[in-house]
Amino acid sequence: MKKTLTRNACAKINLGLDVVGVREDGYHLLRMVMQQIDLFDTLTFTVTDAQGAGKIRLIDESGLSPAGEDNLICRAIRMMEEKYDLHADVDVRLIKRIPVAAGLAGGSTDAAAAFCAIRDLLVPQVSDQELMELGVRLGADIPYCIAGGTKLAEGIGEILTELPPMPECAIVLIKPEASASTAHVYRAVDELGEYHHPDIDGQIAALHAGDLQGLALRCENVLELVTGADLPVIGSIEDFLKRQGALTARMSGSGPSVFGIFETRTDAEKTREAFLRTESAKGCRIFVCTPVSSAEK
Summarised one tens digit per residue, pLDDT across range 269-287 is 999 999 999 999 999 999 9
Q: Which of 51, 68, 48 is nearest to 60 (CA)?
A: 68
CA triple 121-128-11, angle to 5 deg: 90
Summarised one tens digit per residue, pLDDT across range 85-144 is 998 899 999 999 999 999 999 999 999 999 999 999 999 999 999 999 999 999 999 999
Q: What is the mean pLDDT of residues 74-81?
A: 96
Q: Which residues are catalytic?
A: 12, 141
**Residue 11 CB partners (closer than 8 Å, separation 6+):** 36, 37, 39, 40, 98, 104, 105, 106, 109, 173, 289
Residues 125 and 88 sit within 8 Å (Cβ to Cβ):
no
pLDDT over 70 (residue 67): no
The verdict on whether omega for the bond into residue 256 sits within 30 degrees of 0, i.e. cis, is yes
pLDDT over 80 (residue 295): no
Q: What is the DSSP string of 218-234?
A: T-EETTHHHHHHH-THH
**Residue 232 CB partners (closer than 8 Å, separation 6+):** none
Position 294 scores a pLDDT of: 80
pLDDT level of residue 56 (50, 70, 90 thresholds): very high
Q: Each residue of 265-274: b (16+ CB within 10 Å) or e?
A: eebbebbbee
What's the pTM?
A: 0.95
Provide the 3-class DSSP secondary structure of residue 198: coil
9-23, 221-235, 282-296: lowest mean pLDDT where? 282-296
What ranges make up the beta strands (E) of the chain?
Answer: 3-22, 28-49, 56-60, 89-95, 150-155, 159-162, 170-175, 220-221, 248-251, 258-262, 285-289, 291-292
Position 17 scores a pLDDT of: 98
Instruction: Compute CA distances 76 → 46, 87, 177, 209, whole Å.
Output: 15, 14, 29, 38
Residues 86 and 118 sit within 8 Å (Cβ to Cβ):
yes
Position 66 scores a pLDDT of: 60
> For residues 91 and 118, what is the distance between their CA atoms, to the nearest angstrom?
11
Q: What is the mean pLDDT of residues 191-197?
A: 90
pLDDT over 80 (residue 58): yes
Position 70 scores a pLDDT of: 79
Q: Output 243 or 193, whichever has higher pLDDT.
A: 243
Position 26 scores a pLDDT of: 85
> For residues 78 and 82, what is the distance between their CA atoms, to the nearest angstrom?
6
Q: At 101, which amino acid appears?
A: A
User: Sign of dihedral through CA atoms 245, 246, 250, 253?
Assistant: negative
Q: Each residue of 114-151: b (16+ CB within 10 Å) or e?
A: bbbbbbebbeeebeeeebbebbbebbbbbbbbbbbbbb
